[in-house]
Amino acid sequence: VETISFARGVPAPECLAVQELAQCAKAVLERDGMRVLNYGPAGGYAPLREWLAERHGVEAGRIVLTNGSLQGLALLAGQLLVDRPTRVLVEGPTYDRLLRIVAGLGAEATAIPLTDEGLDLEALEGELRGGSKPAFLYTIPTFQNPSGRTLPLEARLRLLELARRHGVPVVEDDPYRLVRFEGEPLPTLFELAEGTGVVHAASFSKVLAPGLRVGYFILPAVLSRALEEAATRTYLAPSFLAQATVWEFLSRDLFEVNLERIRALLRERRDAMLSALERDVADGASWSRPEGGYFLWLDLPPAVKAAELVPRAEQAGVTLISGTDFYPGGAGGEAAARLAYSFAAPSRIEEGVARLASLLPTRQPAAPAA
Amino acid sequence: VETISFARGVPAPECLAVQELAQCAKAVLERDGMRVLNYGPAGGYAPLREWLAERHGVEAGRIVLTNGSLQGLALLAGQLLVDRPTRVLVEGPTYDRLLRIVAGLGAEATAIPLTDEGLDLEALEGELRGGSKPAFLYTIPTFQNPSGRTLPLEARLRLLELARRHGVPVVEDDPYRLVRFEGEPLPTLFELAEGTGVVHAASFSKVLAPGLRVGYFILPAVLSRALEEAATRTYLAPSFLAQATVWEFLSRDLFEVNLERIRALLRERRDAMLSALERDVADGASWSRPEGGYFLWLDLPPAVKAAELVPRAEQAGVTLISGTDFYPGGAGGEAAARLAYSFAAPSRIEEGVARLASLLPTRQPAAPAA
């Protein structure tokens, strides 16, 4: 059987605007090749920085483009941990690659639990009062990876209040926000904080094409300089061709139409996964119902351990990621898994969920209707 | 006056094959967009890895493509210094950015002096016998940055013999080799060592276009895995669009013709600089006569200090880099400077050297012919 991947947060091939991007790459090289092809600023291709600066209402010097946002997060974490190399607050569960960056820098990540509505602010407050001061708080407030959960407006304001009171910088990782299928868009932490005390990280990976590796950061001026200097030290400058191609795509007003297409494609996949889970998966399991993004979080039925399920699922032809991957030191998520619905086609998603369900305890027959 | 830059090793704009690269970017996206635009291997775009593997006679798994070679050097140095975080041997003078990477990793760089023919092997042997074992030797054997010097064949063999005997890995940084104006090409250290004990680093920056940020490494299998893992940790994957565009350019057999064009453009600039120095610069100064590459090294006349000359030159409208930038801790090169002839047009080079010469002691009138 051909494996069905619920493992990686990869966009479906149909999401990629291949022909348009091909035209854009050619056009922007023909028009601005001397700049695109030579050395240039470590902070990235100037016209794209300016476009983003205008969109976000900040000065262009506060925008730094990186080779994917992970590259920027790695450099930024290094900067933020220089002065206080002790610990970082993260969500539990959180983005696994950020955990590896923090560990690689010799710092400790403390996981704050999630409720159904994102970060548990009681727990955050307790940690801020009780523990040693963290270098920063890392949060993915919208369509969180891996849980798919979104922090409501009230909680966003309270989070910012707590961070401000305790003097802890917030790193808001926000790659999924524009992939919203339904519900009202929420302001970002960066917007609510009016740019103070919050670094905003985002990317074109989930809303255009990940292989382009175009991430971006909006930072306080002093941090944007530090990030640019760190970029200069490690790679001189990012790859301008991809950034210039993205800018051309934006300039031609292709972005919104394409984003609508991506939303429709992924909504269909999310719906297919939710329906299949509802139909096939045994009592005792539960899952998040994301309003957007790439992932949902599956809490397994009692007595099912992810460590046993994941390899059995792979043998049965469906891959998913154990919840433990998303906790510092693997301490958490033992009875949970992340399911990405972004990649497989809807019919494949149904088949994949059926394969997964066949490995779970049988559903109890419903009581006959009275 | 408009400043004339001898400071940065930037190719002249005429070197950049803008139209051809625009065609290549479009064509490769149209043909292979699904792969180019999605997530993929941290080691880079597979067809380019395979092309380089065939050209260098190694397996594709031993090639790792990075966002420019500096990115790879930073990751590689991190890997090589994990087990032995003490010191690195470098040439004095050497590539300044490598020095910053080593310092950033908390290691010490020990400079081995150069002779007119590259690394001083007597001094290298003394250092290997006397000092603590270094994590690696970093060398740029061909058209060295900053000196423009090239290590002859005999010395290459002896260097490898010494490195082997003392068990020290060699990192051969080789971005300039193909930009040869005259003289016989020499085998690389990697070729002479038949791939054992030598990491070969190279790039398309100096032979095609730096803004593409396509560097590559040829490594022992165990190190190529380590480098790929480090790349995954920090940026998931490089930007494939630039790598695919380079591959398309190579596949269309455009590379050699374009390289000839670049060689002709830079040879003319080197000649202009050498003639102007000969004509204008006072007795007591001396300079290297590179057979290729981007740079030459100027030893200043007695009593002239680079620290004083460089800012005065900038005021006079010509930029160059103090020799001290190329020594660990700035300890060396006080009476020297690096001059890049790659960027400015020949007439500008003449003008720039004249501006520089006006700041140096007046030439002694030649003795009348007997």
CA separation for the pair A225, A296 (Å, rounded): 36
Judge contact between A136 and A169, C-beta under 8 A: yes
CA separation for the pair A52, A296 (Å, rounded): 29
Cβ–Cβ of A70/B38 closer than 8 Å? no
pLDDT at B362: 74
**What are the pLDDT digits (tens) for B227-269?**
999 999 999 999 999 999 999 999 999 999 999 999 999 999 9
Closest Cα to residue B75, out of A234, A156, A162? A234
pLDDT at B86: 86
Which residue's structure tokens are 């290094």?
A78
Cβ–Cβ of B239/A234 closer than 8 Å? no
Tell me which residue in B16, B234, B242 faces A70 most closely, judged by beta carbons: B234
Q: What is the mean pLDDT of residues B116-128?
A: 96
In A, which residues are within 8 Å of B238 by CB distance?
67, 213, 239
Q: Is B347 exposed, middle or buried (0-12, 13-18, 19+ CB in 10 A)?
A: exposed
Q: E-assigned strands of A151-204?
A: 170-173, 198-203
In B, which residues are within 8 Å of A235 by CB distance?
67-68, 70-71, 74, 213
Cβ–Cβ of A22/B21 closer than 8 Å? no
The overall longest dimension of chain B from CA atoms, in Å, is: 77
How many C-beta atoms surround the C-beta of residue A3 within 10 A?
A: 16
User: B157 CA to chain A: closest CA distance, Å?
Assistant: 31
For chain B, give the mean pLDDT: 95
Tell me which residue in A104, A210, A233 faces B233 most closely, judged by beta carbons: A104
Interface test with B, best of A8, A14, A15, A26 (most B CBs within 10 A): A26
pLDDT at B266: 98
User: B212 CA to chain A: closest CA distance, Å?
Assistant: 5
Cβ–Cβ of A22/B10 closer than 8 Å? no
User: A203 CA to chain B: closest CA distance, Å?
Assistant: 13
Cβ–Cβ of A37/B30 closer than 8 Å? no
Whether the predicted pLDDT of B226 surpasses 50? yes
Q: What are phi and psi of B217, to 5 degrees?
A: -125, 140
In A, which residues are within 8 Å of B39 by CB distance?
8, 10, 210-211
Cβ–Cβ of A68/B237 closer than 8 Å? yes
- What's the pLDDT band for B283 if we cut at 50, 70, 90? confident
* Token digits of residue A160: 């910012």
**What are the pLDDT digits (tens) for B59-77?**
999 999 999 999 999 999 9
Which residue's structure tokens are 């399991």?
A285
Q: Which residue of chain B comes nearest to A229, CA vs CA?
A: B100
User: A129 CA to chain B: closest CA distance, Å?
Assistant: 32
Whether the predicted pLDDT of B370 surpasses 50? no
- CA atoms in the 13 A half-sphere facing the CB of B341: 37
In A, which residues are within 8 Å of B68 by CB distance?
235-237
Q: What is the mean pLDDT of residues B312-327?
A: 98
Cβ–Cβ of A30/B10 closer than 8 Å? no
Nearest 5 degrees, angle CA A272-CA A186-CA A228? 100
Tell me which residue in A29, A100, A209 faces B21 most closely, judged by beta carbons: A29
In B, which residues are within 8 Å of A71 by CB distance?
234-235
Tell me which residue in B38, B97, B211 faces A240 most closely, judged by beta carbons: B211
Judge contact between B208 and B246, C-beta under 8 A: yes
pLDDT at B367: 58
Interface test with A, best of B36, B69, B234 (most A CBs within 10 A): B234
Cβ–Cβ of A239/B241 closer than 8 Å? yes
Query: Do β-strands B321-322 and B336-340 pair in parallel, antiparallel, or remain unpaired?
Result: antiparallel
pLDDT in tens for each of the 370 residues of chain A? 899 999 989 999 999 999 999 999 999 999 999 999 999 999 999 999 999 999 999 999 999 999 999 999 999 999 998 766 689 999 999 999 999 999 999 999 999 999 999 999 999 999 999 889 999 999 999 999 999 999 999 999 999 999 999 999 999 999 999 999 999 999 999 999 998 999 999 999 999 999 999 999 999 999 999 999 999 999 999 999 999 999 999 999 999 999 999 999 999 999 999 999 999 997 899 999 999 999 999 999 988 999 999 999 999 999 999 999 999 999 999 999 999 999 999 999 999 999 999 999 876 655 555 4
CA separation for the pair B267, B286 (Å, rounded): 20
Interface test with B, best of A15, A19, A39 (most B CBs within 10 A): A39
Cβ–Cβ of A30/B18 closer than 8 Å? yes
| ipTM, interface predicted TM-score of the complex | 0.94
Cβ–Cβ of B213/A239 closer than 8 Å? yes
* Token digits of residue B252: 């269309």
Task: Please give the torsion angle defined by the CA atoms of residues A271, A273, A276 and A277, in that order, rounded to the nearest 10 degrees.
Answer: -120
Cβ–Cβ of B211/A97 closer than 8 Å? no
Query: Do β-strands A318-319 and A286-287 pair in parallel, antiparallel, or remain unpaired?
Result: unpaired
The overall longest dimension of chain A from CA atoms, in Å, is: 77
**Helix extents (H) in B9-152:** 18-36, 46-56, 69-82, 96-104, 121-130
Q: Which residue of chain A comes nearest to B24, CA vs CA?
A: A26
Q: What secondary structure does DSSP assign to A222-250, as a single string?
A: HHHHHHHHHHHHHHSS--HHHHHHHHHHH
Cβ–Cβ of A233/B38 closer than 8 Å? no
Judge contact between B91 and B111, C-beta under 8 A: yes
Cβ-Cβ contacts under 8 Å for B37 (sequence gap 6 or more)? A16, A18, A21, A209, A210, A211, A212, B29, B240, B241
Cβ-Cβ contacts under 8 Å for A226 (sequence gap 6 or more)? A79
Cβ-Cβ contacts under 8 Å for A221 (sequence gap 6 or more)? A59, A61, A62
In A, which residues are within 8 Å of B100 by CB distance?
233
CA separation for the pair B260, B266 (Å, rounded): 10
User: A235 CA to chain B: closest CA distance, Å?
Assistant: 4
Cβ–Cβ of B211/A10 closer than 8 Å? no
Tell me which residue in A16, A29, A239 faces B38 most closely, judged by beta carbons: A16
Cβ–Cβ of B68/A36 closer than 8 Å? no
pTM reported for the whole predicted model: 0.95
Q: DSSP 3-state assignment of A206?
A: coil
In A, which residues are within 8 Å of B31 by CB distance?
none
Tell me which residue in A18, A234, A242 faces B33 most closely, judged by beta carbons: A18
User: B81 CA to chain A: closest CA distance, Å?
Assistant: 14
Q: Is B276 exposed, middle or buried (0-12, 13-18, 19+ CB in 10 A)?
A: buried
CA separation for the pair A67, B358 (Å, rounded): 44
Q: Which residue of chain A comes nearest to B19, CA vs CA?
A: A30
DSSP at A124: H
Q: DSSP 3-state assignment of A23?
A: helix
Q: DSSP 3-state assignment of A172?
A: strand
pLDDT at B365: 57
Sheet with strand A108-115: strands edge to edge: A63-67, A214-218, A198-203, A170-173, A137-139, A87-92, A108-115, A118-119
Interface test with B, best of A81, A241, A343 (most B CBs within 10 A): A241
Cβ–Cβ of B240/A213 closer than 8 Å? yes
User: A331 CA to chain B: closest CA distance, Å?
Assistant: 20
CA separation for the pair A347, A367 (Å, rounded): 30
Sheet with strand A286-287: strands edge to edge: A286-287, A295-299, A336-340, A321-322
State whether the Cα torsion B178-B182-B185-B190 is positive or negative: negative
Cβ–Cβ of B13/A38 closer than 8 Å? yes
In B, which residues are within 8 Å of A229 by CB distance?
none
